[in-house]
Amino acid sequence: MAKRGHCAGSLRFSKTSGRCVSEKNPFAHHPCLGTPAWFSYAGFRRRKSTVGEDVETLKRRTPLLEYLRQHNWTGHPASRSEFVGLCPLHEESRPSFYVNTRKDVFYCHGCGRGGDLIRFVQLSRGLSFRQSLACLDPEITSEADSSAVLEEAAAFYQQQLDRCPEALGYLHARGVHDAALFRELGIGYAPGGTLRRYLTAQGYSFDVLRRLGLINARGADALYQRIVFPLRQGEHIVNLYGRSIGSAFAHRFLPGSKGGLYAWEKVRNCSEVILVEGLFDYAVLRQAGFSNVTCSLGTHLNDTQFGQLCEGQRTVYVAFDVDQNQSGQQAAEQLAQRLVVRDISARHVLLPEGHDPNSFFVQGGNAHQFQSLLEAAQP
């Protein structure tokens, strides 16, 4: 049985927030269903089959009446399968809150709200559906929910960016200054020490944050003092990349896969694609007006990334670092050879010695000059 983490202990039923929650949600829901009418478990299941099944398992494991009693609700038998008591969701002196143990649902004749266990957790704690699942059992909220937690973390870090002059200073020093691009890429900053408090207040347990690698055993941010880029695959965030602005090791990912090529959806139909190895290379090129750029987050492409490049007929301009130990150039050549075998045309963009696309622009290079490098690129 998973630890309940944040949700352990007695629940403080909110007398007022329940109403606010229902006002925020303009969609009426049927009292016998656990969720609003526009939401369907079936739709949820399509996205991540195990979660839909796990929801049912969770509800079987924790019947609503048992949950309510664990949280100090007292009900008296009203019929063979019904209990009645004071409503935990609104202030009242005469009991109008009914729990049907056969259907495992509740309905209050006073405030008109009803639903299943998850709906009750949503209303009583002011949480979203996914947050309620995470709250009831961190273990069932596997991949589909990981993405929701990462989404919250990324949004939080994004909010911090404007408040941290040192982070903005770093971005400017790396030649990245377009605020619209910050927003589009979701660039954020982890000042450290605040993420845990923020996410646990959203209903996510310490265990979930640890499992995702967002915090360390002491509860501190894993991406402490790093510029943060969310890495998406389709709509979902699959990882976060953090670039240290201090003395810590430069590059850091959360545990797990880095996913496919960065922002691949934007370029997958392009007949010519520029491939860079770092997100700061990506950012300066986008800022300079090159829209057909993607990034492999390192010189080693995983199978997903290599497969993406080979999806259709195209020319790939490989613009890796030209570093002294030649590792970027060797990686570029090896990649070009692998691509040619798959009938993909590859060109090697030769930057000046000691440069990557980022430093090329930071040290005064412009779009016109980079375009010339692309045109001079050899197979």
Q: Which residues of this protein are in contact with Zn ion, per CB under 5 A?
A: 87, 89-90, 108, 110-111
Q: Distance between CA atoms of 29 and 35, rounded to whole angstroms?
A: 7
Which C-beta is closer to Zn ion: that of 36 or that of 298?
36
Nearest approach in angstroms of CB 111 to Zn ion is 3
Distance of CA 79 to the CA centre of its chain: 46
CB closer to Zn ion, 31 vs 52: 31
Alpha helices by DSSP H, 203-325: 206-211, 264-267, 279-287, 303-309
Q: Which is nearer to Zn ion, 25 or 49 (CB)?
A: 25
Nearest distance from C-beta of residue 259 to Zn ion, angstroms: 44
Closest among 199, 263, 252, 205 to 224, alpha carbons compared: 252
Angle between helices 117-125 and 49-61 (to 10 degrees): 90
Nearer of residues 90 and 196 to Zn ion, judged by Cβ: 90
Q: Which strand (E) or helix (H) includes residue 156?
A: helix 143-161
Beta carbons of 91 and 143 less than 8 angstroms apart? no
Smaller CB separation from Zn ion, 35 or 200 = 35
Whose Cβ is closer to Zn ion: residue 87's or residue 171's? 87
Residue 189 contacts residue 228 (beta carbons within 8 Å): yes
**d(C-alpha 357, C-alpha 89), whole Å:** 57
End-to-end CA distance of the chain: 57
Least distance (Å) between residue 131 CB and Zn ion: 21
Q: How far is the CB of 87 from Zn ion (least distance, A)?
A: 3
> C-beta of 41: minimal distance to Zn ion in Å?
24
Nearer to Zn ion, 111 or 154 (CB): 111
Q: How many helices (H) and strands (E) does the chain have?
A: 17, 13
CB of 252 to Zn ion, least distance (A): 48
Shortest Cβ distance from residue 32 to Zn ion (Å)? 16
- Contact at 8 Å (CB) between 130 and 141? yes
